[in-house]
């Protein structure tokens, strides 16, 4: 323990001994840590407020305590860590809440200043010497600035895969400006349902060959070759001075540790709030199997700016931000979240904002139960918006946890009334909401849109193996304008055996034709899906079939409105027996059919009227 921690501990003990604060603690960026934490005299440090709250609860003075946060930014450089209470009170609870009318922000960002103008008209800045290891993201006035890329909005096409089909490929002469320092460049390579982000080792101009620093695509899966899905797959390049050609494009120069940015002629960076994330995560709620965290709530808080640096050998996505660890391990790694919880009960995140985040947003992970995420906004997140549960890899008693300890499944969690948009900003295989091996998860009345891949993904086994995943409910969600970059997904993607689960009352539309080889759908029910009800959903403006089954068995599809493009069936059966899918009273119309437009308009109106009766993030914030 360092001297600073000792002094804080002594100060807090004195406060408790003399009753210097009540069960409400007030915090303000304009406060003073020598103050008692009252409304009139708030403290400044949110970390100190957390320590004060824990000591108060552990002294058994009361079961409930509220930390009130005033307007302003609470800057951190590393995550705030919450441990289990040591209180003997069974229902001790802690609430972090915005004061009425306030918008407190827990920020892991650093404002960049000291800009100077270069002779070429660009602006540059030397990063402060505070241990920043690379810059992947830059935000100007709260909006993500474009890391210099070529082409700006479209993709290039591989001319031909290299001989090993893994580490290199050939391009046409003139495809892209040749960078003066190719080692600064990152290759972004598009697979069907995932991407690889990897450094460039060499660009051989004479041969028209690009060589990556490691293998492109997951090493552990043999089919991740460069030309497996398409003979001429898509890619683009990032982070070269030669690619900067539009306003607010920028590049990071690792040799000199400089950021260079192009701004409009009328803009001076001194008048702009230019921020890069420096904290690897913002909040960690780390319970233990034998001692869980309970009853911590966040209300009206914004979580903004958190970083994640990809491995030096690159990020090779597998699905939903799980990626190849590039070692001999068979376990998959996953991008970390800005706010993470494990072994926790009854957590609540309500009326919160999660935005400008470099990894995943919020993850209620291993062993989390009876927690709620409600009426919150998730916007501009590099990975997944929200994650519930876990995959199959964690070991317990020498084997996979779901076999040896199925009771540890994340269960009875709810996500409701949230808006989730613009996820997958860096890692296009991200989804709006990911729920892995979970039980009794309810995802209800959320709006999810503008995503490069799937809206909601639930389940996590490519087999019919029995797991504790069951009784999940996806109800009343509005999912639209998704699958914008990748393929082989859908508005809702369901995977693995999860009996007694229900997909109902969902409104799914605008899934466009994909550039990859596989089709995408309104709903894609993948391998192992059995004993699932698909009921009273509205699905339209889907380039391919509204519903697709793959390696599924007996399921019920009842009372749905399925609007099809000409030539596409309402339900596609891939390696699935059509007779196993019981179809009851579904309304099926094909575009161009008499009455198509009128029936669609009526159905949209009916679903829209239902959604108007729900409390939403838009109406309450």
Model confidence pLDDT, tens digit, residues 282-292: 999 999 999 99
Q: How many residues appear in the chain?
A: 621
Model confidence pLDDT, tens digit, residues 384-435: 999 999 999 999 999 999 999 999 999 999 999 999 999 999 999 999 999 9
| The predicted structure's pLDDT at residue 612 | 65
pLDDT above 90 coverage of the chain, percent: 87
Closest by Cα among 554, 486, 571, 495 to 520:
486
Distance CA 520, CA 544 (A): 7
Tell me what the pLDDT averaged over the chain comes to.
93
| The predicted structure's pLDDT at residue 609 | 83
Q: Count CB atoms within 10 A of the CB of residue 465.
A: 13
What is the mean predicted confidence (pLDDT) over 48-65?
87
Model confidence pLDDT, tens digit, residues 151-209: 999 999 999 999 999 999 999 999 999 999 999 999 999 999 999 999 999 999 999 99
Judge whether residue 24 has pLDDT over 60: yes
The pTM for the full model equals 0.94
Model confidence pLDDT, tens digit, residues 8-20: 454 444 444 334 4
| The predicted structure's pLDDT at residue 515 | 73
Judge whether residue 40 has pLDDT over 90: yes
Judge whether residue 7 has pLDDT over 50: no
**Contact between residue 50 and residue 82 where contact means Cβ atoms under 8 Å apart:** yes
| The predicted structure's pLDDT at residue 86 | 79
pLDDT above 70 coverage of the chain, percent: 94
Model confidence pLDDT, tens digit, residues 225-277: 999 999 999 999 999 999 999 999 999 999 999 999 999 999 999 999 999 99
Task: Considering only residues 536 and 517, tell me which one the structure prediction assigns the higher pLDDT.
Answer: 536
Cα torsion for 270, 275, 276, 282, to the nearest 10°?
A: 150
Q: How far is CA 366 from the centre of its chain?
A: 17
- The residues near 494 (Cβ < 8 Å, ≥ 6 apart) are 457, 458, 459, 501, 503, 523, 524, 525, 526, 529, 532
| The predicted structure's pLDDT at residue 88 | 66
pLDDT-wise least confident of 19-28, 324-333, 372-381? 19-28
Judge whether residue 131 has pLDDT over 90: no
Angle at which helix 3-17 crosses helix 46-58, to 10 degrees, equals 50
Q: Count CB atoms within 10 A of the CB of residue 60.
A: 12
Judge whether residue 486 has pLDDT over 50: yes
Distance CA 251, CA 217 (A): 25
Model confidence pLDDT, tens digit, residues 547-585: 999 999 999 999 999 999 999 999 999 999 999 999 999
């Amino acid at each position: 323990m360092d001297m600073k921690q000792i002094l804080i501990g002594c100060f807090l003990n004195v406060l408790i001994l003399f009753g210097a604060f009540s069960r409400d603690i007030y915090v303000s960026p304009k406060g003073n840590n020598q103050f008692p934490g009252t409304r009139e005299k708030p403290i400044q440090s949110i970390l100190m407020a957390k320590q004060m709250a824990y000591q108060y609860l552990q002294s058994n003075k009361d079961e409930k305590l509220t930390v009130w946060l005033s307007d302003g930014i609470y800057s951190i450089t590393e995550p705030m860590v919450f441990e289990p209470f040591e209180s003997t009170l069974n229902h001790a609870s802690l609430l972090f809440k915005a004061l009425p009318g306030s918008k407190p922000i827990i920020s892991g960002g650093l404002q960049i200043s000291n800009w100077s103008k270069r002779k070429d008209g660009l602006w540059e800045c030397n990063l402060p010497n505070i241990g920043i290891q690379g810059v992947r993201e830059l935000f100007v006035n709260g909006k993500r600035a474009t890391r210099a890329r070529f082409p700006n909005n479209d993709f290039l096409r591989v001319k031909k895969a290299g001989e090993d089909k893994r580490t290199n490929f050939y391009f046409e002469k003139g495809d892209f400006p040749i960078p003066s320092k190719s080692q600064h460049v990152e290759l972004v390579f598009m697979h069907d349902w995932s991407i690889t982000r990897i450094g460039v080792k060499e660009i051989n101009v004479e041969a028209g060959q690009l060589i990556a620093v490691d293998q492109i695509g997951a090493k552990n899966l043999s089919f991740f070759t460069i030309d497996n899905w398409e003979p001429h797959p898509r890619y683009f390049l990032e982070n070269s001075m030669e690619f900067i050609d539009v306003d607010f494009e920028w590049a990071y120069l690792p040799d000199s540790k400089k950021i260079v940015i192009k701004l409009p002629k009328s803009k001076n960076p001194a008048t702009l709030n230019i921020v890069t994330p420096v904290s690897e995560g913002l909040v960690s709620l780390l319970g233990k199997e034998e001692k869980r965290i309970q009853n911590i709530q966040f209300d009206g808080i914004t979580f903004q700016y958190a970083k994640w640096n990809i491995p030096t050998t690159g990020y090779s996505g597998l699905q939903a931000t799980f990626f190849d660890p590039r070692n001999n391990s068979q376990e998959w790694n996953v991008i970390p979240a800005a706010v993470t919880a494990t072994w926790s009960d009854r957590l609540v995140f309500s009326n919160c904002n999660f935005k400008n985040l470099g990894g995943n947003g919020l993850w209620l992970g291993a062993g989390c139960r009876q927690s709620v995420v409600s009426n919150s906004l998730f916007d501009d997140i590099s990975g997944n918006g929200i994650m519930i549960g876990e995959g199959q890899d964690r070991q317990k008693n020498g084997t996979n946890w779901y076999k040896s300890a199925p009771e540890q499944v994340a269960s009875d969690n709810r996500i409701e009334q949230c808006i989730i948009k613009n996820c997958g900003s860096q890692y296009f295989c991200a989804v709006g909401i990911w729920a892995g091996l979970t039980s009794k998860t309810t995802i209800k009345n959320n709006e999810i849109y503008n995503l490069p891949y799937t809206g909601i993904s639930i389940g996590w086994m490519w087999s019919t193996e029995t797991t504790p995943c069951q009784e999940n409910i996806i109800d009343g969600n509005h999912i639209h304008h998704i699958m914008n970059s990748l393929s082989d997904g859908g508005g809702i993607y369901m995977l693995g055996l999860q009996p007694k689960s229900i997909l109902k009352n969902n409104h799914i539309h605008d899934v466009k034709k994909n550039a990859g080889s596989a089709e995408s759908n309104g709903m894609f029910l993948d391998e192992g899906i059995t004993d699932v009800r698909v009921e009273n959903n509205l699905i339209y403006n889907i380039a391919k079939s509204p519903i697709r089954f793959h390696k599924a068995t007996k399921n019920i599809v009842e009372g749905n409105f399925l609007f099809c493009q000409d030539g596409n069936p309402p339900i596609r059966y891939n390696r699935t027996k059509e007779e196993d899918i019981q179809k009851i009273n579904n309304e099926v119309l094909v575009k161009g059919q008499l009455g198509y437009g009128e029936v669609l308009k009526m159905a949209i109106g009916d679903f829209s009227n239902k959604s108007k009766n729900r409390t939403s993030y838009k109406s309450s914030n």
